Amino acid sequence: ESDDVRKSLIRFLEKLSPNDPQLAQRLGWNASTDPCNGTAVGWSNLTCIDKKMAVQTISLEGMGLNGTIDAGELCRAPSLAVVRLQDNFIRGILPAEISNCANLMHLYLRNNQLVGSLPSSLADLGNLKLLDLSNNNFSGELPAALSRISGLSGFLVQNNNLNGSIPGFWFRNFGAGYFNVSYNQFSGPIPEGAEDIGSASFSGNQGLCGRPLPNACSPPSPSSSPSPSPSPDQGKKDHWGTREKLILFSGYIALGLFLLAYAAYRVLRKKAAKRNKKIAASESSSPKSSFTMNKTVATGSEHPISTESAATEGSTLVVLKKSTTTAAELKFEELLKAPAELLGRGRFGSVYKVVMADGAALAVKRLKDSGGSGAEFRRRMVRVDMAARHPNVLPAVAFYCSSQGKLVVYEFQQNGSLLNLLRGSNRAGGGAFDWSWRLRVAAGIAEGLAFMHKELDSEGLIGHGNLKSSNILMNAGMDPCISEYGLVVANAGDGADKPDVYGFGIILLELLTGKPVQNDPQELAKWVNSVVREEWTVEVFDKSIVSGAGASEERMVQMLQVGLRCVNPSAKARPSMDQVASMINAVREEDERSLLVSESE
């Protein structure tokens, strides 16, 4: 982090703890050291992206802090994603400058003494997922635009003095226990869509009425209605009715579009067959195609999903994350209009490269109908998205779900999949990807996966369920990113991590042997086992790493053993991903040490 950021963070901490001027010093927050240097002198109570780049989380909960929040200073750290300040005695307001924390995802301020109204700029935090302001003294109305943060999946403001109406949130996004406005002074009808949220989340507000609360709203009568014109809340009801209609309508359109796309696909396939090209077999040589839904929409100039309604409230496109390649907010209609190219068809669906009007490239996966319900899919996507905060996990940018189909949008990764790289390096005679790169890739995937397993462990683990080298994409820095997390309905609960451990083991064997899996991953595992049994272990490794620089046979064999433990036919005998990551990191550290020794010699 830069000098400026370090000083700002220290000033932020000083304002937060006027009663304890030595706090910054005790926590090691010292402007002359880098918070992200990751060694013994590092700053405590914060973490950095990938342990070394930029400050990502600040955790100062339960520390007796009794000062104020200087959001201007705090938000000088550009990558800040998680701020935990709960269980203190923090006073004053939540300043409008909080919106400068453009990457903020989780903000925890519960159990403090904050006052004043919520700044309307809060709604500018387009990446916000969880806002916990409960047990404070906030007052005034909720900024209505908060409900338009499409990825918001946790909103906890219970036990404050907030008033006014509840905006029309996209309630389906909120997991159990993640929406609570109880014990405030809210009034008016609860917007539609909140029926599945328990009534306890709304109780303690004298003026609220309608489902899920037991007291129905009394129909407006001329004598009891304070204003003859429609109240803002009635307006909202209308608006929600329109939304539901639009969803229904877009469902019909999607059906038509799918049929059209299928016909287009058949034509394309015939043409491709004529040219003796296989579409599905080769990921790299797929023909230009058009994105499933684009034709009809592009030709229908008076298309009923207006840009505005599609982007904000009228469509089921849920934008989870601002794309880093484009400044513009992703809009459903533009997604449909954009030219698209079929990248490949897998067991679970097809992937298209879609280039937006401003040049940003996206990858859109259209899922085959997995049979799962839409509500379950939405919950899973939102929950996975809340967890996907690791540099080796590719977060979804948005998803779309209607009764006719499911789409998931990612940023397009120029460097392609690990599978393609391994195939390419074979064709080119190998050599491009040396031992230390392979170790780094293995460690990155293991860490990303271990992180996700840990984050998604509560209430039954969500595993990836389809981990393989075509779902490992290489980012611009050639580091691996796990893609498509959460798209497959994998087993939940005890042992749900074990298929992923197996999948990882196969990827590790692919990296070590340089033999990408063609069809059956078990074949590779059997082959490696048989060679090792015959004690021809060295024969197993990719020739290009054996002859390349930096590889030691001892560490190569250690890695092979990790891989073989992961693909043990008995799921119970496989290690957890956390153990796998530690084993690989130990090998990596040894490797780095030996490199230092050989350099100093």
Q: Which one, 184 or 466, has the nearer CB to ligand ATP?
A: 466
Q: Which one, 343 or 562, has the nearer CB to ligand ATP?
A: 343
Count residues near ligand ATP (CB under 6 A).
Answer: 22
User: Contact with ligand ATP (CB under 6 A): which of 34, 484, 497, 591?
Assistant: 484
The radius of gyration of the chain from alpha carbons, rounded to an integer in Å, stands at 27
**Binding-residue pattern over the window 318 to 357 for ligand ATP, x denoting contact by CB under 6 A:** -------------------------xxxxxxxxx------
Q: Which one, 284 or 530, has the nearer CB to ligand ATP?
A: 284
**Cβ at position 520, least distance to ligand ATP in Å:** 14
Partners of residue 474 on adjacent β-strands: 480
**Cβ at position 362, least distance to ligand ATP in Å:** 8
Q: Which one, 402 or 483, has the nearer CB to ligand ATP?
A: 483
**Cβ at position 350, least distance to ligand ATP in Å:** 6
Confirm if 129 and 385 have CB atoms less than 8 A apart.
Answer: yes
Strands 161-164, 185-189: pairing is: parallel
Q: Which one, 165 or 470, has the nearer CB to ligand ATP?
A: 470
Q: Which one, 205 or 471, has the nearer CB to ligand ATP?
A: 471
Please state, as a whole number, how many other Cβ atoms lie within 10 Å of the Cβ of residue 556.
22
**Cβ at position 466, least distance to ligand ATP in Å:** 5
**Binding-residue pattern over the window 147 to 186 for ligand ATP, x denoting contact by CB under 6 A:** ----------------------------------------
Confirm if 76 and 89 have CB atoms less than 8 A apart.
Answer: no
User: Contact with ligand ATP (CB under 6 A): which of 150, 184, 250, 471?
Assistant: 471
Instruction: Find all residues with CB under 8 Å of 551, minimum gap 6, and list them.
Output: 434, 435, 545
What are the angstrom distances between the C-alpha of 106 and each of 59, 126, 149, 170, 340? 11, 12, 13, 18, 34
Strands 207-209, 185-189: pairing is: parallel
- Picking from 519, 600, 517, 531, the residue whose alpha carbon sits closest to that of residue 564 is 531
| Residue written as token pair 């004043």 | 116
Is 100 in a helix, a strand, or coil?
A: helix
**Cβ at position 259, least distance to ligand ATP in Å:** 21
Q: Which one, 246 or 367, has the nearer CB to ligand ATP?
A: 367
Residues of span 12-41 touching ligand ATP by CB under 6 A: none
**Cβ at position 51, least distance to ligand ATP in Å:** 25
What are the angstrom distances between the C-alpha of 596 and each of 505, 591, 600? 29, 9, 6
Q: Which one, 189 or 344, has the nearer CB to ligand ATP?
A: 344
Instruction: Find all residues with CB under 8 Å of 95, minimum gap 6, and list them.
Output: 69, 70, 71, 72, 119
Confirm if 341 and 286 have CB atoms less than 8 A apart.
Answer: yes
Q: Which one, 172 or 468, has the nearer CB to ligand ATP?
A: 468
Tokens standing for residue 34: 């880098």
Instruction: Find all residues with CB under 8 Å of 510, minimum gap 6, and list them.
Output: 418, 419, 422, 469, 516, 517, 524
- Rule CB under 6 A: say whether 511 interacts with ligand ATP: no
- Residue 84: half-sphere exposure toward Cβ, Cα within 13 Å: 12
Span from 177-185, 413-421, 563-571, 587-595 in contact with ligand ATP (CB under 6 A):
413-421
**Binding-residue pattern over the window 58 to 97 for ligand ATP, x denoting contact by CB under 6 A:** ----------------------------------------
- Rule CB under 6 A: say whether 412 interacts with ligand ATP: yes
**Cβ at position 182, least distance to ligand ATP in Å:** 41
User: Contact with ligand ATP (CB under 6 A): which of 473, 517, 556, 562?
Assistant: 473
Q: Which residue is nearest to ligand ATP (CB)?
A: 346
User: Contact with ligand ATP (CB under 6 A): which of 283, 334, 341, 434?
Assistant: 283
- Rule CB under 6 A: say whether 449 interacts with ligand ATP: no
Please tell me whether 365 is known to bind a ligand: yes
b/e map 417-441, b = 16+ CB within 10 Å: bbbbbbbebeeeebeebbbbbbbbb
The DSSP output letter for 56 is E
| Residue written as token pair 């050599």 | 431
Q: What gap in Å lies between CA 233 and CA 308, rounded to an integer?
A: 21
Q: Which one, 128 or 367, has the nearer CB to ligand ATP?
A: 367
- Rule CB under 6 A: say whether 265 interacts with ligand ATP: no
**Cβ at position 149, least distance to ligand ATP in Å:** 24
**Cβ at position 346, least distance to ligand ATP in Å:** 2
Strands 154-156, 130-132: pairing is: parallel
**Binding-residue pattern over the window 381 to 410 for ligand ATP, x denoting contact by CB under 6 A:** -----------------------------x
Is 196 in a helix, a strand, or coil?
A: coil
User: Contact with ligand ATP (CB under 6 A): which of 466, 505, 525, 563?
Assistant: 466
**Cβ at position 470, least distance to ligand ATP in Å:** 4
DSSP string, 362-399: EEEEEEP--S--HHHHHHHHHHHHHH--STTB---SEE
Q: Which one, 462 or 540, has the nearer CB to ligand ATP?
A: 462
Q: Which one, 67 or 521, has the nearer CB to ligand ATP?
A: 521
Q: What gap in Å lies between CA 589 and CA 500, rounded to an integer?
A: 24
- Rule CB under 6 A: say whether 483 interacts with ligand ATP: yes
**Cβ at position 423, least distance to ligand ATP in Å:** 10
Q: In what order do the strands lie in the sheet with 115-116?
A: 115-116, 137-141, 161-164, 185-189, 207-209
Which positions touch ligand ATP (CB under 6 A)?
283, 343-351, 363, 410, 412-413, 416-417, 466, 470-471, 473, 483-484
Binding site for ATP, by residue number, is 365
Binding site, by residue number, is 365
